[in-house]
Structure 1
Amino acid sequence: MLGHNLELLCDRVLKYPDRVRNLYFTFLFFLRAVTKGVSLLRTTCGTPNYVAPEHLALVIFIHNLIALQVQHLNCRAHYDWI
């Protein structure tokens, strides 16, 4: 099972500024994709009142992802350095 390994992170990623920049760059594109796809992600397949049990975990994940994106936008409104 995977877990937190701060020593490995520091040794293989944080020592190298180009790798850290790559992480920021990747996160930027991921966040933009989520931002552009929010309206699509809010819709569900099937009827709005029923979600198939095998899709429930995915629907919960998507709603949490949208909530994080909204929090990020609210944070940007208060801090211009983000």
Structure 2
Amino acid sequence: MNNENVHTLYMHGTDLCVLCQTCGRRSLVDPYKVNAWGGKGDMTPISEVAKRFKCTTCNVKNSYAFVPPTKEFAERWRRVDITETPGVE
């Protein structure tokens, strides 16, 4: 998970999973919005992209983001059917 970047997100074609580490809110961000920041060849690490997000619930910038393996995984993760977040203990 450490080597994920915007290009990885583009290639997977899934939404970006974003977790607010302050309040626990989970969100999915459209990959085209993320790609618009730098383009499909953008090698910006997802960890850097996560710093751009401010939670709409608690209004804090303290997010963790990852590229889910599938669209189905992303939806299940957002609904908390999957309780673990890859890369977060």
* Fold shared, TM-score > 0.5 on shorter chain: no
Say which structure, 1 or 2, has more relative contact order (CA 8 Å, 6+ apart): 2
Higher strand share: 2
Larger Rg: 1
Higher helix share: 1
TM-score, normalization by structure 2: 0.19
